[in-house]
């Protein structure tokens, strides 16, 4: 299996361009906080022969596959099994206080989407698992079996932004009274049957529910909310962070953290900005960058991406 043929990293050249100024010094350290199949990491190691790379992932299959891909660079690579909100501990455990570059490619990975038996894709019938780390935690089937109607509605509304959340929650409760929901195909049929005919053409009825279940199972938003500030705290002066999000909930969290980081904390009314209150970061892109039409055509998974980036310009006091 040639991973370069089956896995195209999203916004690869743009990520490298943004991180490059921080990775010029010998021994510069970059963290790929969402290692996946290792495409971004491989490119960074090839382009910058003097860097050290730390790769994080909660998915043991991803670590194994990426480890094989990055084997030619093994002397400069350390892989860590952890959720990305463990980034500060992972860096500290390696005896480091600061790093120079950090990359986040959030959401479900190509590996997880492409393995049908993981249950992430609503287009393929599979066990309702959806765990990014299959060694622990509840599955999507567990959520569907144990959550009450109100909790199901809440996660569909909050994490899927689903307008039919109540209708879908009631349909699931009724269906599970007849038999357990353990496969994605059965859930898709329930959602399809519960969707009014007039709305059948406005997108697949399972898309937002599957997103919501995945986020709930993996506590993704809580991890993002903790991980981004933690990662920014681990950057030395001149260090850069690049974050790619694929749905609006994640992107709003990243946007808020970045906005706070570039805002002056000088009290209103003072005639000058106090150095200790000056912004510690500056934004590297205006708003959120999208993939080009060319990249979206060549790599459909780049279609929803939103990229944000920032650089530390002052040390934490």
Q: Is 178 annotated as a binding residue?
A: no
Neighbouring C-beta atoms of residue 134, cutoff 10 Å: 16
192 assigned binding-site residue: no
Q: Is 159 marked as a binding-site residue?
A: no
| Strand 306-312 versus strand 235-245 pairing type | antiparallel
Closest CA to 262 of 227, 291, 226, 286: 286
Instruction: Yes or no: say if 30 and 19 are a contact pair by the CB < 8 Å rule.
Output: yes
- The torsion angles phi and psi of 189, rounded to 5 degrees, stand at -65, -40
Q: Is 105 annotated as a binding residue?
A: yes
Whether 112 has a binding-site annotation, put simply, is yes
CA–CA separation, 291 and 305 (whole Å): 7
- Cα 176 to Cα 12, 55, 146, 179, 182: the distances in Å are 43, 40, 10, 5, 10
Q: Does 57 carry a binding-site annotation?
A: yes
Answer for the pair 130, 139: CB distance below 8 angstroms, yes or no.
Answer: yes
39 annotated as belonging to a binding site for a ligand: yes
Cα R_g (the chain), whole angstroms: 21
List, as residue ranges, the binding site: 38-40, 57, 84, 105, 112
Binding residues for S-adenosyl-L-methionine: 38-40, 57, 84, 105, 112
């Amino acid at each position: 299996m040639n991973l370069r043929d089956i896995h195209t990293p999203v916004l690869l050249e743009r990520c490298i361009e943004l991180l490059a100024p921080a990775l010029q010094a010998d021994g510069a350290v970059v963290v790929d906080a969402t290692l996946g199949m290792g495409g971004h990491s491989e490119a960074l190691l090839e382009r910058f022969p003097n860097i050290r790379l730390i790769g994080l992932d909660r998915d043991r299959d991803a670590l194994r596959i990426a480890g094989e891909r990055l084997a030619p660079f093994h002397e400069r690579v350390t892989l860590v099994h952890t959720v990305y909100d463990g980034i500060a501990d992972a860096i500290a455990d390696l005896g480091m206080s600061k790093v120079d570059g950090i990359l986040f490619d959030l959401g479900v990975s190509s590996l997880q989407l492409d393995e049908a038996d993981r249950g992430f894709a609503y287009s393929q019938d599979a066990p309702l698992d959806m765990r990014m780390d299959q060694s622990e935690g509840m599955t999507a089937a567990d959520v569907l079996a144990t959550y009450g109607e109100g909790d199901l509605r809440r996660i569909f509304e909050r994490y899927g932004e689903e307008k039919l959340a109540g209708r879908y929650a009631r349909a699931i409760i009724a269906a599970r009274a007849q038999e357990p929901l353990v496969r994605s195909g059965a859930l898709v049929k329930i959602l399809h049957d519960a969707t009014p005919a007039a709305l059948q053409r406005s997108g697949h009825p399972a898309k937002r529910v599957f997103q919501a279940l995945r986020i709930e199972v993996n506590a993704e938003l809580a991890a993002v909310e903790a991980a981004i500030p933690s990662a920014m705290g681990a950057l030395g002066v001149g260090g850069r962070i690049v974050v790619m999000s694929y749905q609006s909930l994640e992107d709003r969290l990243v946007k808020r953290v970045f906005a706070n980081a570039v805002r002056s904390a000088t009290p209103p009314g003072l005639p000058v900005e106090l150095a200790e209150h000056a912004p510690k970061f500056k934004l590297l892109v205006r708003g959120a960058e999208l993939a080009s039409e060319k990249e979206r055509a060549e790599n459909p998974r780049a279609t929803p991406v939103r990229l944000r980036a920032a650089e530390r310009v002052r040390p934490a006091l």
